A = this chain, B = another copy of it.
Amino acid sequence: MVVCLKPINNLSPITRVHAATYQAASGAGAAAMAELEEQIKQVAAGDPVTVEKFQYQLALNLIPHVDVFTENGYTKEEMKMYHESRKIMHTDIEVSSTCVRVPVLRNHSEAIWVETEESLDLQQVRDALENAPGVTLKDDPANQVYPMPLGSASKDDIFVGRLRKDISNPKGITFWCVGDQIKKGAALNAVQIAEYMVEKGLV
């Protein structure tokens, strides 16, 4: 998420973010992915469904529960989105999210609303995202072009689409993004940080 927020924040500081996530089984590990694949086969065969890695059956279902619950009613995953966004962006950005596990094997998706200090021109945001490193715009609704998790795995970039004004808020922008959290969230990030350190002569 932060990869998409940074270029917008450079245009005008983001004060507030609302994010609904659609998180793939892969976020819970390889065994969890295998469980979803197994559940799909069991559902197809009309057999009883095995549930071990998730709280409930995930095939043909949605589970609004990723990681453990904390005292304020948010899960640890949701509070991580709050704290890590502030840490990475070095701002007082406020993030409220709802994290939901969905029956998808790979790639996390998110519906995001951002509020900025100044009202932004949509074309300006589009240009900023287009030129942002690590972001690929996939946004041509007339031709049914928007990011989807199926087929986006093992790509380095975060894909952004459905970019438009928040019609409920003159200072708001909303979009949909999809990214391979195994690469961008973990492995690829480590490689990119190492590359940056070498480039800057820090190691």
List the interface of chain A (C-beta within 8 A of B). Answer: 16-18, 20, 22, 40-41, 43-45, 55-57, 59-65, 69, 72-74, 82, 94-96, 98, 100, 102-105, 109, 111, 113, 141-142, 144, 146-150, 161-169, 172, 174, 176
Contact = CB atoms under 8 A, between A and B. Distances in A.
A162 B98 contact: yes
Contacts of A146: 64-65
A53 B17 CA distance: 34
Contacts of A149: 61-62
Given A167-B82, A172-B96, A40 B60 contact: yes
A165 B98 contact: no
A27 B129 CA distance: 33
Contacts of A94: 167-169
Contacts of A174: 18, 96, 98
A20 B60 contact: no
27 contacts: A16-B168, A18-B113, A18-B168, A22-B100, A40-B44, A41-B44, A55-B144, A56-B148, A57-B150, A60-B105, A61-B149, A64-B111, A64-B148, A64-B161, A65-B144, A69-B142, A73-B162, A94-B167, A95-B167, A96-B113, A96-B169, A96-B174, A98-B111, A98-B174, A100-B111, A103-B103, A103-B104
